[in-house]
Amino acid sequence: MNAKPETLAAPLDVERIRADFPLLSRTVHGKPLIYFDNANTGQKPLAVIEAVDRHYREHNANVSRAVHLLGEEATAAYEGARDAIARFINAPSRDEVIMTSGTTQSINLVAYSYLMPRLKAGDTILTTVMEHHANIVPWQLVAERTGATVKAAPIDENGELIVEAFVEMLTPDVKLACVTHVSNALGTVNPIREIARECRKRGIPLLVDGSQAAPHRAIDVQALGCDFYAITGHKMLAPTGTGALWAKREHLMAMPPFFGGGEMIREVRFEGTVFADPPHRFEAGTPNIAGFAGVSAAIGYLEGIGFERIKAYEQELLAYATDAMDAIPGLRIFGRAKEKEPVISFLIEGAHANDMATLLDLQGVAVRSGHHCAHPLMQFFGVPATLRASLAFYNTKSEVDGFIEAIGRVRKLLL
């Protein structure tokens, strides 16, 4: 039976919550699944699955193109997701929320619509060594077209941003600063408020990649003080192909459309087109309507549990897993930030990350191996790849125990 998270009382009843996630009950290779790849994508609760199914069964129509009831219902579901996202991140206005396919599209929108028209040779885009490729490559592409340069602020051996160095690099040639809220490879939480304050002093806009923050912590873009904030739906229990960009209205009003087509116009003539106001100006074509019905359900589910409870439980789980992994001979953890989310990158001395991940999978344990779309970070640590165990509020200490036992078995096979 589908548990109702809004009725759950503290402390977190994890077994009751797990009943809401059908995939968590399956077996792989004859073993109970231990899903520790949540930084890659989160699993979906029944509330989300049913919201998508219900849309296609009962409300399927296109948005903003029909006066019939189904069209009105589809539009209400889609625009309701915008309201839910605005509430979720505490946006000043729903009209500052652009619905996208995820953080990658959101960042590319800022790169091409906001930044590129403002760039010239000699300008700089400042990011950090720990960024996901989605917060590096778009800036490189627009820099190549304009003669600008992408620079990266350094991190230390704990995987923490050296904030003083970042601030020193906020020179007058910097036209945009771009920082992840939470590192997808290390779990490091960056001090966004402090960074934003220093950017504002210098009149430099700040974009924040919030993909890995949104599943774990309450987001308040007004309190953070940034200019742009991007989230990805599938990281936070919602369907794939969903996400959002929040941007200050003054930026949105000055940005030309990135995609052209239906729904983003007021009037089209061959003599010229009048575009819609934001946010619809940036939402050409038919969106992932059913997916955004799932976004609303995912946000409702997370809010029903409460991020204070999620954070407390996940931090306890992170500490438990870290202590257990520290006791394994030859195991090295990458990233020891003072503040981090439940992401643990590691290697076993003498074992290749992909071999480990393959053998762990045969034990029923799903972890990520590779560079985690963070080549510069791997280069900083001098390794080609790591394993990454990323936890969520529906994981358990008994799963951690099973994971540790599986590592022990795999070590015997490889070493």
Angstrom CA distances, 14 to 11, 282, 400, stand at 9, 40, 14
Residues forming the active site: 373
d(CA 175, CA 120): 10
Token duo for residue 372: 């985690």
Angstrom CA distances, 305 to 39, 90, 233, 266, 350, stand at 19, 18, 17, 41, 42
Q: Determine whether 230 is exposed, middle or buried from the number of CB atoms within 10 Å of its CB (0-12, 13-18, 19+).
A: buried
Which helix (H) or strand (E) is 211 found in, with range? none
d(CA 49, CA 22): 10
Strand partners, 232: 243
d(CA 370, CA 47): 32
Q: Are 170 and 143 within 8 A, CB to CB?
A: no
3-state secondary structure labels for all residues of 392-415: CCCCCHHHHHHHHHHHHHHHHHHC
Residues 6+ apart with CB under 8 A from 220: 89, 90
Q: Which residue type occupies 357? A: A
3-class secondary-structure state, position 365:
strand
d(CA 151, CA 394): 38
User: Regarding beta strands 365-366 and 386-390, do their DSSP bridges make them parallel or antiparallel, or are they unpaired?
Assistant: unpaired
Q: Determine whether 338 is exposed, middle or buried from the number of CB atoms within 10 Å of its CB (0-12, 13-18, 19+).
A: exposed
- 3-state class percentages of the chain: helix first, strand second, coil last, to nearest 5: 45, 20, 35
Residues 6+ apart with CB under 8 A from 283: 98, 99, 263, 264
